[in-house]
Amino acid sequence: MPHTLSYLPFRKAAVLGAGVMGAQIAAHLANAGLEVILLDIPPKEGPKNGIVEAAFKKILKMKPAPFVDSAAPRRITTGNFEEHFHLLKDAEWVIEAVIEHLAIKQQLMARLEETLPAHTIVSTNTSGLPIHQIAEGRSPAFKKRFLGTHFFNPPRYLKLLEIIPTPDTDPALLNKLKWFGRVHLGKSVVIAKDTPNFIANRIGTYSIMQAIRAFTSGEYTIEEIDALTGTLIGHPKSATFRTADVVGLDTLKYVGENLYQAIPHDESREAHRPPELMVKMVDNGILGAKSRKGFYQKVGKEILSLNPQTMNYEPAKPLNLGDLESLAKSGGLKKRIAALYADRGRAGAFTRQSMLDLIGYAARRVPEIADHPADIDRAMCWGFGWEMGPFQLWDTLGFERVLKDLQAAGITLPQWVAEMRQAGHDAFYREIDGQPAAYVPGKGYRPEPVFADQIDLPAISRRKESVLFERSEGALLNLGDGVALFEFRSKANTLSQDVVEGVFQAIDYVEQHDFHGLVIGNSGRNFSVGANLGEAGHVLQAGKFEVLEQMTKRFQDMVLRVYYARKPVVTAVQGMVLGGGCELLMHCAANVAALESYIGLVELGAGLIPAGCGSTHLAARAAQQAASDFPSQVQPFLIKAFETIATAKVSTSAREAIELGYLKPEALIVMNADRRIAVAKTEVLRLSQQGYMPPPARKAILVMGKPARATMEAAAYQMQQGHFATAYDRFLAQKLAYVLTGGELSGPAYVDEQYLLRLEREAFMDLLKEPKTHERVKSILTTNKPLRN
């Protein structure tokens, strides 16, 4: 790949078409910091911006939110094609997302060629039309800067960006878009061929339609198929039918019908034709979530499913899949899939049939839709949220075993599979000279893409020379260049006692050896969901309160060890960063956070208050934020911290976490989570090279005393009276207010850090003796849901 130092990020972009996809693409470009022009056609009647303004208002209310913070919407300028088309002359990248009608798109391209300067890149977000046909009739110069960029819905949250060049696309332009998409939009990019529905939708639609046919044939129920096609096999929990309802049955029908017409050469094209039941449902206005009924319908608190004979909705019938619970507990994903595939009951029969069918279809699409089988795997994982693509699945089950089963099932395979076997290759993925490689038909194994700004922690963990020490639930790894990383390996990356001790050990090691500093991070979906409540729950059940107090004090000491470390400690976070994980984050020298980081102090949901230095830190920070030490200046910041903790507010993005005070204002936010470890490593080096000094001891923290506590207690009372909080919520908020304002102090005073930490511990231990706290802890441990009691 060309050196990226020569690339300049886009500053201004435009999206044409404010439909569901166009408006959300515009939102995500704004999330990335671009100025965005969003245009649509004027309506036949009313204000000429009527359509675009309605679309913009809709995305402001959409859930999950397309925007990452309150500033992003202000970067979008709306307009219409009639009055504002001239604004496009300032855009560096124009994305077309209008109706899927070839003639309309071609007319728009002609108008763009007349309007845009020669350097502007133009792309189409079409999902069903041939890319090259959209640019027909345009000049060679226009075609050089034209290509497809297929975002997945919702664009903020789904990683996949399929980029589809035409034979005329300038390779330099293609490389710049790949770089910008990965670094600045947070996308995982796959280069797709200009074939119908490209890669992910071609394979994904096939998989969904085949699963639906297993229902319409009467072999399996809706609930059984969803049980077998969801998290059990590493797919999203929405599985098949909930996914279909969310996507929209009319959309699925449209995609299937269009694809069927577009692939006369596909030997399996009949599989893409929508089943008669789906056609009937759409004809009767049963469209899924948008019509509040699809394959499922929620009535009150009960979820009903469709009876295809009566077209009525009925309660779910018991699953007839054998001991599915034991299969689910058979181990990690690879072990679960192996157990399901080997099962001799109905669950195993469905799994074998569906997996073999999918693997065979994906193999037959190489090289039609992709030259590299790995690109199909990547597209399915990044676009559909699968943990394994079809060829990764084949490797997991065993190459020879699956090949034998495919042949026994009469599933046709392309010639390249036979050639692969004849060449002695028995896996699609392997390591060669310590580097990951993937099989490419006709070429053998080729190295997997490697980016200088991405660090593969699992690969580092496999190299013995890079492991500095290991514990039962953590390890210290050498990232090179004098930077180490402490990795959590506990369940859900909880901060167990072993992880806490591992942090102490890691900082000691880094300070005593030739290292610039330490990164704390991991490769899990979530950085940390907080303290190990299960561990604490066992001690609580035994009534060993002195042990719990020792554990709490040790946790506080660990956080302070991070805060006062002689070498910089930088966190690299992603996903959920809750409770103790948030407290650890707040005390590091610097923060690097993936945009999709959901950060919060949620202890009140467990009937507790933050007692891992979190309450102390926010009390100290309130005084630091104020323009002076006058109580009237400090109190608004303290009240904001109180409200944030008392409502267990979790940020919806890393950007919002800055607004809430969980992240430092200068925190580095990376759009692509895969870059966070490398960026954190760079930050350690920067801090070290500029001459890092730990912060001075917090000897004089200004607290507000009883007057501020009274204000907070009044706010808690109002929350209860407004039915936003229970009586116990109010009680917890009063405990929190007591700590944040310095306990029994009659007015503003300066206290040291240890004074507030003692208040934290005492309040925490008092709450652990409350029956309602026990109920809340039990609810989280048994149902994984907070209890409002």
Q: How far is residue 529's CA from residue 580's CA, in Å, rounded to a whole number?
A: 8
pLDDT tens string 77-111: 999 999 999 999 999 999 999 999 999 999 999 99
135 within 8 A of 166, measured Cβ to Cβ: yes
Mean pLDDT in residue range 232-238? 95
Q: What is the pLDDT of residue 784?
A: 84
Q: What is the pLDDT of residue 223?
A: 96
pLDDT tens string 739-749: 999 999 999 99
The answer to whether residue 712 scores a pLDDT higher than 80 is yes
Q: What is the pLDDT of residue 128?
A: 82
In a 13 Å sphere around the CA of 440, the CA atoms on its Cβ side amount to 10
Q: What is the pLDDT of residue 140?
A: 97
Under DSSP, is residue 361 helix (H, G, I), strand (E, B) or coil?
helix
**669 DSSP β-pair partners:** 593
Phi-psi region of 742 (alpha: psi -120 to 50; beta: other; left: phi over 0): left
Distance (Å) of CA 782 to CA 479, 580, 779, 785: 38, 20, 5, 8
pLDDT tens string 473-529: 999 999 999 999 999 999 889 999 999 999 999 999 999 999 999 999 999 999 999
Model confidence, pTM: 0.93
| Torsion of Cα atoms, 50 then 56 then 59 then 60, to 10° | -120
480 within 8 A of 529, measured Cβ to Cβ: no
pLDDT tens string 300-352: 989 999 999 999 999 998 999 999 988 888 888 999 999 999 999 999 999 99
**Neighbour-count burial of 454, counting CB atoms closer than 10 A to its CB (0-12 exposed, 13-18 middle, 19+ buried):** middle
pLDDT band at 452 (very low <50, low <70, confident <90, very high): confident
The answer to whether residue 1 scores a pLDDT higher than 70 is no
Q: What is the pLDDT of residue 434?
A: 79
pLDDT band at 541 (very low <50, low <70, confident <90, very high): confident
Mean pLDDT in residue range 571-582? 97
Q: What is the pLDDT of residue 2?
A: 45
pLDDT tens string 400-445: 999 999 999 999 999 999 999 999 999 999 988 878 899 999 999 9
Mean pLDDT in residue range 594-613? 96
pLDDT tens string 253-311: 999 999 999 999 999 999 999 999 999 999 999 999 989 999 999 999 899 999 999 99
Retrieve residue 259's tokens.
């694809």
Instruction: Report phi then psi at 593, rounded to 5.
Output: -130, 135
Q: What is the pLDDT of residue 4?
A: 54
pLDDT tens string 121-173: 999 999 889 999 999 999 999 999 999 999 999 999 999 999 999 999 999 99
pLDDT tens string 368-394: 999 999 999 999 999 999 999 999 999
Q: What is the pLDDT of residue 319?
A: 94
638 within 8 A of 624, measured Cβ to Cβ: no
Nearest to 13 by CA among 104, 96, 109: 96
Q: What percent of the chain has a predicted confidence (pLDDT) above 70?
A: 99
* Mean of all residue pLDDT scores within the chain: 94
Which distant-in-sequence residues (6+ apart) come within 8 Å of 435 by Cβ?
Answer: 447, 448, 450
pLDDT band at 5 (very low <50, low <70, confident <90, very high): low
Retrieve residue 744's tokens.
């029994």
